[in-house]
């Protein structure tokens, strides 16, 4: 499942990357979340150019990433719901790794994997690696954290788990959707897992567009509103 708001510059390469998986997706659900650019047109053209790809385009007019996620997973048909964003590149075994891990661990309700930035200075990925090792409660991370953090652009869920917590419903304003659903799952006593070998590559554009100030904000001034304001629900939605 991919949710997209004004992603005309990125959605095509993301879909192309998904088509090169060693384990092809049973379906690819793209949710156009009130885009005002050519996102929907590009997805439609892509579908026409790849008629065997089983891509479905759904329109969600109410802005908010968690609203789009909710529409997307309830429209999907599979028992495993794999979630990503519209500006991601994937290794060839990304889907295969999730499928294998869920088959091996029937006790796990949801999984997440690492995120690296392909267009950032090297130290950004060093910081990200360090953060993962102390923030995810596996290995040395068990000394620092008891709660998993799900990466919104690299996560997979059992449908039964999302059904148990009503998916992304009832999210407060100014909270990111991955934090919301991760909290709901863990509060319900469901088990999460960090799949270290299932890394995706993201763009650093949201920070990089501000030059050195963006790098400083990544390290010291990160706020939901400042970085991911386009992900948030409109106040009257």
- One digit per residue, the tens of pLDDT, for the chain of length 237 reads 999 999 999 999 999 999 999 999 999 999 999 999 999 999 999 999 999 999 999 999 999 899 999 999 999 999 999 999 999 999 999 999 999 999 999 999 999 999 999 999 999 999 999 999 999 999 999 999 999 999 999 999 999 999 999 999 988 877 788 999 999 999 999 999 999 999 999 999 888 888 888 888 888 766 555 545 555 555 434
- Position 117 scores a pLDDT of 95
Sign of the alpha-carbon dihedral angle for 66, 71, 72, 73: positive
Task: Report the C-alpha gap between 28 and 90 in whole angstroms.
Answer: 14
The SS3 assignment for 122 reads: helix
- Position 235 scores a pLDDT of 41
The kind and range of the H/E element at 58 are strand 55-59
Task: Report the C-alpha gap between 12 and 86 in whole angstroms.
Answer: 8
Q: Which residue(s) pair with 85 in the sheet?
A: 3
The SS3 assignment for 152 reads: coil
Tokens linked to 68: 């789009």
In order of 34, 71, 232, the CA distances from 63 in angstroms are 6, 11, 7
Residue 123 CA to its chain's centroid (Å)? 23
Domain boundary assignment for the chain = 2-231
Surface-to-core class of residue 154, CB atoms within 10 Å of its CB (0-12 exposed, 13-18 middle, 19+ buried)? buried
Judging by DSSP bridges, how do beta strands 88-89 and 80-85 pair with one another?
Answer: unpaired
| Cβ(155)–Cβ(69) below 8 Å | no
What is the topology classification, in CATH, of domain 2-231?
A: Spore Coat Polysaccharide Biosynthesis Protein SpsA; Chain A (3.90.550)
């Amino acid at each position: 499942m991919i949710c997209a708001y004004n992603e005309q510059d990125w959605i095509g390469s993301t879909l192309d990357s998904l088509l090169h998986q060693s384990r092809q997706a049973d379906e690819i659900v793209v949710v156009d979340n009130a885009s005002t650019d050519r996102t929907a047109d590009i997805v439609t053209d892509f579908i026409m150019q790849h008629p065997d790809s089983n891509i479905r385009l759904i329109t969600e007019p109410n802005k908010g990433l968690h609203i789009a996620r909710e529409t997307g997973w309830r429209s999907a048909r599979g028992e495993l719901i794999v979630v990503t964003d519209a500006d991601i590149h994937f290794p060839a075994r990304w889907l295969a790794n999730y499928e294998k891990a869920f088959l091996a661990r029937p006790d796990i309700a949801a999984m997440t994997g690492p995120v690296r930035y392909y267009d950032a200075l090297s130290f950004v990925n060093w910081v990200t690696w360090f953060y993962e090792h102390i923030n995810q409660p596996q290995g040395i991370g068990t000394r620092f954290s008891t709660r998993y953090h799900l990466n919104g652009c690299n996560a997979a869920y059992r449908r039964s788990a999302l059904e148990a917590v009503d998916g992304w419903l009832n999210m407060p304003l100014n909270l990111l959707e991955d934090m919301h659903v991760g909290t709901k799952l863990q509060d319900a006593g469901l088990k999460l897992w960090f799949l270290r070998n299932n890394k995706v590559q993201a763009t650093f554009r949201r920070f990089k567009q501000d030059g050195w100030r963006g790098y400083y904000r990544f390290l010291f001034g990160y706020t939901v509103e400042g970085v991911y304001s386009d992900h948030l629900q409109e106040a009257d939605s």
